Amino acid sequence: MYELFIAIRHLTSRRRQTLFSILAVGLAVTGLMWSQAVMVGFTDEMYSKTVDRMAHVTVEPKEGEDYIHLYRKLTEEITRIDGVVGVSPVIAGAATFRFKDKNKNVVMQGINVEAQDSVLFINEDIVEGSFRDLEITPNSVVVGDALAEKLGVKIEDTIDASFPEANPAALKVVGIYNSGTPLDETIAITSLPTAQDFLDVSNVVTTILVRGDDRERAQAISEEIDAMGYPASGWKETNPEILQTLKVEGTSNYISMALIVIIASFGIVSTLFMAVMEKTKEIGMLMAMGVPRRSIMMIFVLESGILGLLGAVFGVILGAALAMQMGTYEYGTEVMAGITSIPFVVRIQDAVIIVLFTFLLNLIGGIYPASQASKLKPVEAIGRE
């Protein structure tokens, strides 16, 4: 492999150019690695603040029907689907809440506490009282903190609930929750029987919420439920804007970062052009000694590839070190979807992909100057004085 021997010697002989080339690519790759860590962290954070807190799959009544009948049987069947870890039947209806002189229209949700917690981890959101009391105390309700404030209610207060065609009820406040979303102002949670009594129905629900062991499984689960005859949609269908946001952020990030690396690689290509011009006589002499054109080309492509590889490795290490050093970027305020900080997430696979990308880019970039070198005619290259 004399080609490699010559390529490495060329690089070590023009030490300063080599160092700057590696530095240029390295710093560009540092940026790429660092911003990839931000992007992965942002994606993780976005998922944990949104998808991880919502039902992965939502099941609705059959077409033309207002309710899901025989929901207990359906719930059991859904529980048996591979990968399902939580199933919660929910009945929802409109209600007007009145406390003292204040009125507020809300959505009343009847739930089974344990089931709902298995899908939405509601117990984590409780700030006062408990969801469990819904099942102990008849005609009780848990309200969001914003709703409680609007109505001016506290634990142990009793709210009058009414609605046209509904059975009016007096509901005792047994808990206050805060999910950090605008829903805290509009949703009131009761037990399933309480809500069914209020809405004057029995043995029916309006939706079934499902959680899978992996959010990416939502599509497969919803397809199986569809096959049971109930329309089901995964989170990607019910909240397309989440994926949209990630895609837009991700794409623009990749493009701008890849451009920087490409520009840095151009630096290597131009250095290589200079080297080819400088070494014209040498190339001619190598040809006279019997080095075939392919090998001349290989020497210069190798030089470019080696610079790219070293720059990429250096950049990935520096970028990863910076990202790990910073740990988390704190915004101080909410920027979107409940995100207040972005953790830097360094993944081995990103490092490998970035190194490969940069290496290949430089190999390809080296082809042009290298082919110029290989096209030299030995007589003209050696020249004569």
Partner 1 sequence: MSDTYIIQIKDLTKIFGNGVEIRALDGVNLNIERGEFLAIVGPSGSGKSTLLNQIGILDTPTSGTILLDGVDVTKMSDKQRSITRNRQLGFIFQYHHLLPDFNALENAMMPLLISGVKSSRAREVASLMLHEVGLGDRMEHRPNQLSGGQNQRVAIARALVNNPSIVIGDEPTGNLDTKSSESIYELLRKLNREHKQTFILVTHDERMAAKTDRIIRLVDGRIAANSHNSV
Least distance in Å: CB of 302 to partner 1?
Answer: 15
Cα dihedral sign, 139-143-149-155: positive
Do strands 169-177 and 126-129 pair parallel, antiparallel, or not at all (unpaired)?
Answer: antiparallel
19 lies in the binding site for partner 1 (CB under 8 A)? no
293 lies in the binding site for partner 1 (CB under 8 A)? yes
Binding window for partner 1 (CB under 8 A); candidates: 46-54, 141-149, 228-236, 288-296: 288-296
Phi, psi dihedral angles at 62 (to 5 degrees): -60, 155
How far from 248 is each of 11, 20, 244, CA to CA, in Å?
Answer: 40, 34, 6
277 lies in the binding site for partner 1 (CB under 8 A)? no
73 lies in the binding site for partner 1 (CB under 8 A)? no
377 lies in the binding site for partner 1 (CB under 8 A)? yes
- The token pair at 325 is 């050093």
Strands, E assignment, 242-305: none
User: Do the beta carbons of residue 145 and residue 189 sit within 8 Å?
Assistant: no
Binding window for partner 1 (CB under 8 A); candidates: 7-15, 37-45, 306-314, 345-353: 7-15
282, 321, 322, 368: which one contacts partner 1 (CB under 8 A)? 282
User: Do the beta carbons of residue 197 and residue 166 sit within 8 Å?
Assistant: no
**Total binding residues toward partner 1, as defined by CB under 8 A:** 26
Least distance in Å: CB of 2 to partner 1?
Answer: 4
Binding window for partner 1 (CB under 8 A); candidates: 134-142, 168-176, 318-326, 377-385: 377-385
375 lies in the binding site for partner 1 (CB under 8 A)? no
Site string for partner 1, 294-313 (x = CB under 8 A): -x------------------
Residue 120: which of 24, 51, 33 has the closest Cα?
51
Cα dihedral sign, 297-298-301-306: negative
Strands, E assignment, 301-376: 328-330, 341-343
Name the residue nearer to partner 1 (CB basis): 243 or 379: 379
The residues of the shown chain that bind partner 1, judged by CB under 8 A, are: 2, 5-6, 9-10, 12-13, 281-282, 284-293, 295, 377-379, 382, 384-385
